[in-house]
Chains A and B, each alone.
Chain A
């Protein structure tokens, strides 16, 4: 099946620094990728929809200047958490859509901000 890879799997950073998380579709082209955030013991909340070559669409309550999303190619979307703070610590998961069909998820990236 289609594979979506996220990198890094784990990242620890100091408060105030920025962290970039990559999401790659390894064997298919994804015109649309979705970024989710999962708090401990909670469900996944959609943060934004990333469309190749255009600006991301953010969900209500998600700060676009805080969570920068770039979808520069059909196989790569990046999420940059700018000036990270401890409350940004979370599990971030991306998914990529194969055409108009199934969504495939990455393994997730756990961010810990000290």
Chain B
């Protein structure tokens, strides 16, 4: 079945760039998403990329998509302590729902 994998933890220093990686298995994916979840809260859509794009930039966020390798990454420039959260990569499933990775916990140290 469709699957999404991502590393579980990432720790960076404030001001550095963070790169969160994700791989997926569904070759027919049309949209791929990045969501942010702060403790005890719901999901906040950060950005998404259409499958015919290689890159999308939105302020401090850069999404890179390698469709051949089914690899997606999220780069956060100038990472701040407020960026500490769990980041979920998600693939649009064949039923229209989202299939989530396990989430990457980003810790930002001052």
Contacts and interface: CB of A to CB of B under 8 A. Distances in A.
B96 A108 contact: no
A34 B100 CA distance: 13
A43 B100 contact: yes
A46 B41 contact: no
Nearest to B8: A41
Nearest to B88: A43
A71 interface: no
Contact of B43 (A32, A42, A93): A93
Interface string A98-111: 00101111111010
Interface residues of B, number: 18
Given A42-B102, A43-B103, A105-B45, A34 B97 contact: yes
A102 B102 CA distance: 21
Contact of B40 (A34, A42, A104, A110): A110
Interface string A22-56: 00000000001010000000111010010000000
Contact of B42 (A57, A97, A103, A108): A108
A61 B36 CA distance: 27
Interface string B97-110: 11111110000000
Contacts of B35: 105
Interface in A73-109: 93, 95, 97, 100, 102-108
Nearest to A97: B96
A92 to B, nearest CB: 10
A106 B42 CA distance: 6
Given A44-B100, A104-B45, A105-B44, 13 more contacts: A32-B96, A43-B100, A43-B103, A46-B97, A46-B99, A49-B96, A57-B95, A97-B96, A102-B45, A102-B48, A103-B98, A108-B42, A108-B43
5 contacts: A42-B103, A43-B88, A44-B98, A49-B97, A104-B45
Interface of B: 35, 40-45, 48, 88, 95-103
